[in-house]
């Protein structure tokens, strides 16, 4: 109990430090790759509903 209690919320009000450029570039590349994978997954899976509806759709013959 002799240690001084440090409130972590008081540290939120301090100035932010600058991120090293190489770390920033790595993070931006990782975000770009994740976005590319997400876009490709949407592209592949977006037509499943129309494919399934076309598969189960019955055409009435005259």
pLDDT in tens, 18-39: 989 999 999 999 999 999 999 9
Predicted confidence band of residue 16 (pLDDT cuts 50, 70, 90): confident
CA distance 37 to 11: 36
Residue 46 vs residues 16, 17, 21, 50: alpha-carbon distances, Å: 41, 42, 37, 8
The two tokens of residue 56 are: 């189960």
pTM for the model stands at 0.52
Q: What integer pLDDT is reported at residue 31 of this predicted model? A: 97
Predicted confidence (pLDDT) per residue in 39-55, tens digit? 998 888 877 777 777 77
**32 vs 9, higher pLDDT:** 32
């Amino acid at each position: 109990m002799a240690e001084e209690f440090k409130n972590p919320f008081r540290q939120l009000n301090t100035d932010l430090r600058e991120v090293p450029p190489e770390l920033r570039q790595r993070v931006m590349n990782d975000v770009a790759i994740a976005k590319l994978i997400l876009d490709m997954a949407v592209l592949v899976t977006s037509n499943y509903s129309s494919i399934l509806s076309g598969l189960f759709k019955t055409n009435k013959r005259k």
